[in-house]
Amino acid sequence: MAEIKPTRMELIKLKRRIKMATRGHALLKMKRDGLIMEFREILEEAKEVIGGMVDKYNRANERITLAKAVDGVIAVRSVAISCQYEPKFTIRRKNIMGVVVPVVKREKIRRKVSEREYGVVATTARIDEAVSAYEELVDATLEVAEIETTVKRLIEEIDRTKRRVNALEYRVIPSMQEAAKYITFKLEEQDRENIIRLKKIKSKMAAKEAEKRAREEAAAAAA
Amino acid sequence: MSRITVIGDPDFNIGFRLVGIRDTIDVEDESKLPEIVEGLLGKEGIVVIKYDFYKKLPIHTKIKVEESLEPTFVKVGGEAGVGELREKIRRAIGVDLWK
pLDDT in tens, A29-72: 999 999 999 999 999 999 999 999 999 999 999 999 999 999 88
Is A82 or B55 the better-scoring residue by pLDDT? B55
Question: What part of A 145-204 touches B (C-beta under 8 Å)?
Answer: 145-146, 148-149, 151-153, 155-156, 158-159, 162
With CB atoms and an 8 Å threshold, state whether B20 touches A152. Answer: no
| Sign of the torsion angle spanned by Cα atoms A144, A148, A149, A151 | positive
Residues B19-23: contacts with CB within 8 Å, 24+ apart?
Answer: B19/A83, B19/A87, B19/A109, B19/A131, B19/A134, B19/A135, B19/A138, B20/A83, B20/A84, B20/A85, B20/A86, B20/A87, B20/A117, B21/A86, B21/A87, B21/A138, B22/A84, B22/A86
With CB atoms and an 8 Å threshold, state whether A162 touches B92. Answer: yes
User: In the predicted model, what is the mean pLDDT of chain B?
Assistant: 88
Measured between alpha carbons, how far is B91 from B99 in angstroms, rounded to an integer? 15
pTM beyond 0.95, yes or no: no
pLDDT of residue A2: 58
Instruction: Among B19, B49, B52, B91, pick the best mutation site for testing chain A contact (most A Cβ within 10 A).
Output: B19
Domain ranges of chain A: 8-177
Q: How far is B31 from chain A (nearest CA, A)?
A: 25
As a CATH number, domain A8-177 is: 1.10.287.3240
| pLDDT higher than 80, residue A81 | yes
Q: How far is A6 from chain B (nearest CA, A)?
A: 40
With CB atoms and an 8 Å threshold, state whether B92 touches A158. Answer: yes
- Residue B96 contacts A where some CB pair is shorter than 8 Å: no
Q: pLDDT tens across B38-77, in order? A: 999 888 889 999 999 999 999 999 999 988 888 889 999 8
With CB atoms and an 8 Å threshold, state whether A54 touches B79. Answer: yes
Of B76, B82, B81, the closest CA to residue B12 belongs to B76
- Residue B76 contacts A where some CB pair is shorter than 8 Å: yes
